[in-house]
Structures are given as C-alpha cells and as structure tokens.
C-alpha cells in the first residue's frame, strides 16, 4: 500500500479541480464535439461494419477519451511537479520503492481516464446509442487507462519543459487518435500506413474495445496491450529509480 499516499495526493487535487466550474465541460469538450459532429451529424447517413456509425464511433471515443485523460493528467502533472512546483522531490525522498511511486500515479491516472469514459458513455446512452457494456469492453478500458497512464509517467519524467509535453501530445497522441481506428476502420488505410498503425497501442485498444467475442484478433490485441503496458511500467519505474536533478 505504499502507493496509496501518492494516489491520495492526486485524488485530493483531482477533487479540488473537479469542483471548479467548467472543469468537467473543458475535459469533455473535445470528445463531445466529435460525438455530436461525427456521430450525430455525419453518422446518421453512414454505415460501418454493418451497423450505425454512431454505435461504431462511441467505443472509439471512449478509448480516445480514456487515453487522453489518463495520459495528460499524469504527463502534465508529473512534469509540472518535477520541474516547477518541485513537489516530486517529496515523493522520491520518501522511503518507498520507485514502483510504488509509479503505481500511485498510474492508479490516479486510471481514475481520471475512467471518470471521463463514464461521462462519454452516459452522453452516448442519452443520445440513443445501442451501446452494451461487456466484460471485454470493461477490461479493455481499464487496460487502456493503465497503459497510457504509464506512458504519461515516461513523458512526464523525460520532458525538459512543460511545453515539451504538448509536443509529445501533438506529434504522437493526436495522430494516434486519428489513425488508430477511432473514427474509421483501419482496414481502409493503404498497406504501408496500416503496418505503422498496427504498431500503435491505441489501435489494439480500438480493436479490442469493439469485440463482442474472444477471437484470435481479440487475444492478440490483448497481448499487445499487456506487452506495451508492462514495457511502459518497467521503463517508468527505472526512470524514477534513476531520477537525479
């Protein structure tokens, strides 16, 4: 339970931000715009995979939103804590293992990602989506939040200024949102680009989150997500262990 104080600290800060007017709307704005513009607007006249586009889009937006919120909360918060507020010093000077520090951050990032996901799902249900919660969906959602929270730790530790976190978001996270199957099936992409897309972790989240049965593709996507998550956790832990100002 050595991770708990870090989790508590992050949650206390989350709670204070949550009660500030506009916070929920700000964090929900981008996925809601996509949902309304693409899902309710364009989606009424488009069919994907034999179903409505709105039903296709909603799980993708949940994956995107959980990724963004988990990743951004940790990457940005850790970067500020390390470089500007210096509060990260308090954590690395505590007699706890580096894995406890990363675990505390990651669990808090997951809470944030899950919170945003629940909001999107509620909006989708209110808008008349035929969305069903399945065990695969829930597992994928948790794993996606875990994976991108760990990536957030790495970026938060590696960046040398707060502006750098935006650079990583613009050059890695944003393209991933558009090309990893959030808005359209990746099968439609040219073979070369498809090969690159299949290397991106969010692609496998989008594959798995839309599955209703455990077929070979689902198992492969799950294994790749677990491998990415484990790799990011190990790298993040080592970065915290080797931290030196």
Q: Answer yes or no: are the C-beta atoms of 150 and 98 closer than 8 Å.
A: no
Q: CB count, 10 Å around CB of 228? A: 22
Q: Is 172 an interacting residue with respect to another protein (CB under 8 A)?
A: no
Q: Which of 238, 194, 212 is nearest to 98 (CA)?
A: 238
State the Cα–Cα distance between residues 35 and 16, nearest whole angstrom.
Answer: 28
Q: How far is CA 58 from CA 54, 79, 119, 202, in A?
A: 6, 31, 12, 15
Q: Is 162 an interacting residue with respect to another protein (CB under 8 A)?
A: no
Q: How far is the CB of 75 from another protein (least distance, A)?
A: 18
Q: Is 95 an interacting residue with respect to another protein (CB under 8 A)?
A: yes
Q: How far is the CB of 231 from another protein (least distance, A)?
A: 25
Q: How far is the CB of 195 from another protein (least distance, A)?
A: 40
Q: Is 96 an interacting residue with respect to another protein (CB under 8 A)?
A: yes
Q: Is 13 an interacting residue with respect to another protein (CB under 8 A)?
A: yes
Conformational region of residue 94, where left means phi above 0, alpha means psi within -120 to 50, and beta covers everything else? beta
Q: Is 22 an interacting residue with respect to another protein (CB under 8 A)?
A: no
Binding segment (CB under 8 A) for another protein, from list 10-18, 146-154, 161-169, 195-203: 10-18
As given in the structure block, the two tokens for residue 75 are: 């990457």
∠ Cα 19 23 29 (to 5°): 150
Is the Cβ of residue 14 or residue 142 nearer to another protein in the bound state? 14
Q: Is 83 an interacting residue with respect to another protein (CB under 8 A)?
A: no
Helix, coil or strand: residue 163: helix
* Per rule CB under 8 A, count of chain residues that contact another protein: 24
Conformational region of residue 48, where left means phi above 0, alpha means psi within -120 to 50, and beta covers everything else? beta
Q: How far is CA 235 from CA 98, 135, 138, 158, 170, in A?
A: 11, 29, 26, 11, 22
Q: Answer yes or no: are the C-beta atoms of 182 and 202 closer than 8 Å.
A: yes
Is the Cβ of residue 87 or residue 212 nearer to another protein in the bound state? 87
Is the Cβ of residue 84 or residue 178 nearer to another protein in the bound state? 84
Q: Is 99 an interacting residue with respect to another protein (CB under 8 A)?
A: no
Binding segment (CB under 8 A) for another protein, from list 67-75, 80-88, 132-140, 170-178: 80-88
Strand partners, 15: none
Q: Is 91 an interacting residue with respect to another protein (CB under 8 A)?
A: yes
Q: Is 8 an interacting residue with respect to another protein (CB under 8 A)?
A: yes
Is the Cβ of residue 98 or residue 185 nearer to another protein in the bound state? 98
Is the Cβ of residue 1 or residue 126 nearer to another protein in the bound state? 1
Q: Is 19 an interacting residue with respect to another protein (CB under 8 A)?
A: no
Residues near another protein (CB under 8 A): 4-6, 8-9, 12-13, 16, 85-87, 89-97, 242-245
């Amino acid at each position: 339970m050595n991770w708990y104080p870090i989790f508590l600290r992050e949650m206390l800060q989350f709670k204070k931000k949550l009660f500030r007017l506009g916070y929920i709307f700000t964090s929900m704005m981008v996925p809601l715009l996509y949902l309304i513009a693409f899902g309710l607007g364009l989606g009424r006249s488009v069919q994907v995979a034999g179903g409505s586009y709105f039903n296709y889009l909603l799980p993708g937006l949940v994956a995107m939103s959980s990724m963004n919120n988990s990743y951004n909360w940790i990457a940005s918060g850790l970067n500020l804590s390390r470089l500007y507020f210096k509060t990260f010093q308090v954590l690395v000077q505590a007699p706890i293992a580096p894995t406890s520090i990363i675990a505390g951050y990651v669990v808090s990032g997951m809470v944030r990602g899950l919170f945003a996901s629940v909001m999107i799902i509620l909006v989708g249900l209110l808008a008349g989506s035929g969305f069903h919660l399945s065990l695969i969906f829930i597992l994928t959602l948790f794993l996606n939040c875990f994976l991108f929270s760990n990536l957030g730790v790495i970026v938060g530790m590696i960046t040398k200024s707060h502006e750098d976190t935006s650079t990583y978001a613009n050059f890695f996270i944003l393209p991933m949102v558009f090309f990893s199957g959030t808005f359209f099936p990746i099968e439609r992409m040219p073979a070369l680009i498809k090969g690159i897309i299949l290397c991106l972790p969010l692609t496998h989240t989008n594959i798995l989150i839309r599955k209703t049965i455990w077929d070979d593709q689902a198992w492969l996507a799950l294994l790749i997500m677990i491998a990415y998550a484990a790799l990011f956790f190990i790298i993040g832990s080592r970065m915290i262990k080797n931290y030196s100002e």
